[in-house]
A and B are shown apart, each in its own frame.
Chain A
Amino acid sequence: SAVISQKPSRDICQRGTSLTIQCQVDSQVTMMFWYRQQPGQSLTLIATANQGSEATYESGFVIDKFPISRPNLTFSTLTVSNMSPEDSSIYLCSAGTNRAGEQYFGPGTRLTVT
């Protein structure tokens, strides 16, 4: 298993600004992922964070809006850029050995955009 921490745990941001969320895993993991849960919706995969290279984004998500870094096997960041109220969500990172195997989740970042 893996223990995952995220910061910040919550934030309230103004429209048009950007927020960077950090995710730290307590052990080296093969894969790290970023998810979003909008109010009343299911957890949706944003992208797979690849170590040392560009993230792989799912349909509907683009690098300009959600730039992701993964400089090593235990750390990743997600930036929510040029925020609008529609970006108000819970953002979670997770880690696992492959895309469909067991995943361990962080506690999430609750973002409110005003």
Chain B
Amino acid sequence: ILNVEQSPQSLHVQEGDSTNFTCSFPSSNFYALHWYRWETAKSPEALFVMTLNGDEKKKGRISATLNTKEGYSYLYIKGSQPEDSATYLCASADGNQFYFGTGTSLTVIP
């Protein structure tokens, strides 16, 4: 069982602010790192899959980086909008299964 940790647990930001969250995972037996965005009563939506150390992915105002040697990934949101309000989950895969963090709950205040 892998211990995946996310911080902060929750975050409130003003519309227009930029923000970032952290996902920490064991660096041994690393296969891939997944980020999901999960709105209440909806399906978790896949944001990024990253496998290589130093990977950077971008989707609109959201981007992510990966450091497999030290075991962390950052998710950045630039110019937060109310529609960004959701829980952001990361999952580390070891080649056998996913191990999820508890998520970061983001609330963007208009």
Contact = CB atoms under 8 A, between A and B. Distances in A.
B4 interface: yes
Contacts of A103: 34, 46, 98
**Contact residues on B (Cβ < 8 Å of other chain), bracket:** 20 to 34
B95 A42 contact: no
Interface of A: 4, 9, 40-45, 58-59, 92, 99-108
Nearest to A93: B43
A43 B96 CA distance: 16
Interface of B: 1, 4, 31-32, 34, 36, 41-44, 46, 49, 89, 91, 93-103
B102 A100 contact: no
30 contacts: A9-B41, A41-B102, A42-B4, A42-B99, A42-B100, A43-B91, A43-B100, A45-B97, A45-B98, A59-B1, A92-B44, A99-B97, A99-B98, A100-B31, A100-B93, A100-B95, A100-B96, A100-B97, A100-B98, A101-B93, A102-B34, A102-B46, A103-B98, A104-B43, A104-B46, A105-B43, A105-B44, A106-B43, A107-B43, A108-B43
